[in-house]
Amino acid sequence: MKLTINSNVWNYREGTLYCEDVSLDLIARKVGTPVYVYSYRHLVDRLREVQAAWRGRRHLVCFSLKSNSCRAVARALIDQGAGIDVVSGGELYRALRAGASPATIVFAGVGKTEPEIADALRAGILFFTVESIPELYLINQVAGGMGKIAPVALRVTPDVDPKTHKYITTGKAENKFGLDPEASMSFYRRCRELLWISPVGIHMHIGSQILRTGPYREGVEKLIGLVRKLKREGISLKYLDIGGGMGISYRDEEPPSARDYADALAPLLKGLRITLILEPGRFLTGNAGVMLVRVIRVKKKAKRNFIIVDGAMNDLIRPALYQAYHQIVPVRCREAKKLRADVVGPICETGDLLGSSRPLPEPEAGDFLAVMSAGAYGYVMSSNYNSRPRSAEVMVRGEKYRVVRRRETYQDLVRGERLPDFILSGQ
């Protein structure tokens, strides 16, 4: 079996798939399935790749926690110097619990609420990415009430097309995020008038799973134009945040490397005394993880064959939601004739599909399959739909593996529920 993704931590050894030096067959048997498995090595190598590409320029890589908010994953990256990009009070809490220094946390999102803003101010984050004028006023008000200055960066939608799935395109004029470049001068002028606001940066995030450097170049050019204009008005920004979105290989894509991005963007930044912030999520975590599932049974119908597995759309929703492709491979290769089949879960929906029409050596019940490239937007987007307990998460480092989140139980499913008195009493 040939792996199409671009990562050397996943390998077959004598017909069994390994993560670093641990057999995935062993993990599936010991921990059960479905289970997410993450490679420590991959996470750290990818982060170092980005850091190395920008060596020589002041920069901070803020890992986008939404792609994988597992504490062990975040901690591994924080220990190597990563900051964190958060999008909610919950992520802020997680980032702090994972050990992130508040001064390395950036907070984006169109719907920040008062308590979230207060929490972030209390913690002392690096800056808020502000996405509208009303939000700016709210931050000013909350900060004033606390007697704290709120550092902010405006999120600009530079109106570039990253040519990715429409659900994950975020930098176009018609998207809900940020403000138009034309509105940015007046935004920063207002910042100057507001007592509790300090404008420190400018931000863009143009989309996700982007496979070219061009859209970044276009976006950064626009942002730099604004930075220079603001400077002439006496507003000097310290941070230029180019967001995340760097794509990875799921199938046969050839994404730019961290160095390619640096080569494309560094010339634009020449002469600018500004700290660059990057917010990669998938680039660090996507190919750091797989989801292991067990074959429940194989079912053959006149028009289609199905491999029914114990992982489903509640565990990994990307194929159902975005028609995303994830390579699916056997954990242990077996000599068997190829079967073309849909790999499906047990959920009562036709869309419960992990892979469509895949040629696989015909498996037997009990065999394990690995759904590759599942480290980003995998577990974090999972749900309890069909009352399925969420899977476990495991991290591998060298020859060691550890369960970093236990599998949910049936009790977890009903935790927090209660029957109201008017049902219990019958009236």
β-bridge pairing 305-309 and 289-300: antiparallel
Q: What Å distances lie between residue 403 and 72, 90, 91, 406, CA to CA?
A: 10, 22, 21, 6
Residue type, 227: V
Say how far apart CA 290 and CA 14 lie, in whole Å. 19
**Segment near ligand LLP (CB under 6 A); pick from 25-33, 112-120, 255-263, 280-288:** 280-288
Task: Sheet containing 22-23: give its strands across.
Answer: 10-13, 16-19, 22-23
Say how far apart CA 369 and CA 298 lie, in whole Å. 13
State yes or no: residue 244 binds ligand LLP (CB under 6 A). yes
**Segment near ligand LLP (CB under 6 A); pick from 18-26, 44-52, 136-144, 238-246:** 238-246
- Site for ligand LLP (CB under 6 A): which residue of 162, 219, 245, 311? 245
Report angle CA 288, 293, 299 to the nearest 5 degrees: 140
Say how far apart CA 366 and CA 39 lie, in whole Å. 24
**Segment near ligand LLP (CB under 6 A); pick from 212-220, 249-257, 276-284, 383-391:** 276-284
Q: How far is the CB of 334 from ligand LLP (least distance, A)?
A: 31
Q: Which residues pair with 17 in a beta bridge?
A: 12
Q: How far is the CB of 261 from ligand LLP (least distance, A)?
A: 12
State yes or no: residue 108 binds ligand LLP (CB under 6 A). yes
Phi-psi label, residue 260: left if phi above 0, alpha if psi -120 to 50, beta otherwise: alpha
Q: Which residues pair with 38 in a beta bridge?
A: 289, 395
Say how far apart CA 384 and CA 387 lie, in whole Å. 5
Q: How far is the CB of 116 from ligand LLP (least distance, A)?
A: 15
Q: How far is the CB of 246 from ligand LLP (least distance, A)?
A: 6
> Which of 243, 226, 213, 242 has the alpha carbon at shortest distance from 187?
226
Say how far apart CA 24 and CA 64 lie, in whole Å. 27
State yes or no: residue 282 binds ligand LLP (CB under 6 A). yes
CB 62 within 8 A of CB 88: no
State yes or no: residue 281 binds ligand LLP (CB under 6 A). yes
**Segment near ligand LLP (CB under 6 A); pick from 16-24, 34-42, 275-283, 408-416:** 275-283
Q: How far is the CB of 371 from ligand LLP (least distance, A)?
A: 13
62 is catalytic: no
3-class SS of residue 162: coil
Structure-block tokens of residue 45: 């190598």
Q: What is the DSSP letter of 66?
A: G
Q: How far is the CB of 181 from ligand LLP (least distance, A)?
A: 17
Please work out the total of residues on this chain that contact ligand LLP, with binding judged by CB under 6 A: 22
- Site for ligand LLP (CB under 6 A): which residue of 20, 279, 315, 352? 279
**Segment near ligand LLP (CB under 6 A); pick from 41-49, 205-213, 305-313, 333-341:** 205-213
Unique residue bearing structure tokens 């404008």: 199
State yes or no: residue 83 binds ligand LLP (CB under 6 A). no
- Site for ligand LLP (CB under 6 A): which residue of 33, 68, 208, 373? 208
Say how far apart CA 321 and CA 268 lie, in whole Å. 36
State yes or no: residue 377 binds ligand LLP (CB under 6 A). yes
Nearer CB in complex with ligand LLP: 31/157: 157
- Site for ligand LLP (CB under 6 A): which residue of 42, 46, 238, 318? 318
CB 188 within 8 A of CB 231: no
State yes or no: residue 283 binds ligand LLP (CB under 6 A). yes
State yes or no: residue 64 binds ligand LLP (CB under 6 A). yes
Residue type, 244: G
Q: How far is the CB of 280 from ligand LLP (least distance, A)?
A: 5
State yes or no: residue 243 binds ligand LLP (CB under 6 A). yes
- Site for ligand LLP (CB under 6 A): which residue of 17, 19, 70, 85? 85
State yes or no: residue 162 binds ligand LLP (CB under 6 A). no
The residues assigned a catalytic role are: 348
- Using CB under 6 A, list all residues that contact ligand LLP: 64, 66-67, 85, 108, 168, 205, 208-209, 243-246, 279-283, 318, 322, 376-377
